[in-house]
Amino acid sequence: MAGRGTSRSPRMVRGSVVTHRRRCGKPTCRCAGGEQLHESTVLSYSERGRTRFVMLPPAKVAAVQAAVERYRAAQATLEAAGEAGRAELITGLGAARGNR
């Protein structure tokens, strides 16, 4: 795949897709009553200890959500492998000690 252009989404994205609901501040707007708030979907992520948001255009939301889920699945697999490796190491160290 060439991967050219900006319409293509990355395979993995670290962050969370969240919906923000807010009032725009115009007294005549439908949101003024506090029930029909404006919704915007954003990618929330932390960078150098600060939480940041980037707006997602509606056409991008599904692809970004899928990429976030792929990242989480890969992260969970990696963590499980690391945990299993450590358990194996500790078991091995214990067996080596026990054999002496």
Residues at the contact surface with Zn ion, assessed by CB under 5 A: 24, 29, 31
For Zn ion, the closer CB: 9 or 40? 40
Nearer to Zn ion, 31 or 66 (CB): 31
Kindly give, in sequence order, each residue whose CB lies less than 8 Å from that of residue 56, ignoring residues fewer than 6 positions away. 17, 41, 42, 43, 64
For residue 22, the minimal CB distance to Zn ion (Å) is 8
Provide the minimum distance between the beta carbon of 55 and Zn ion in the complex, in angstroms, as a whole number.
16
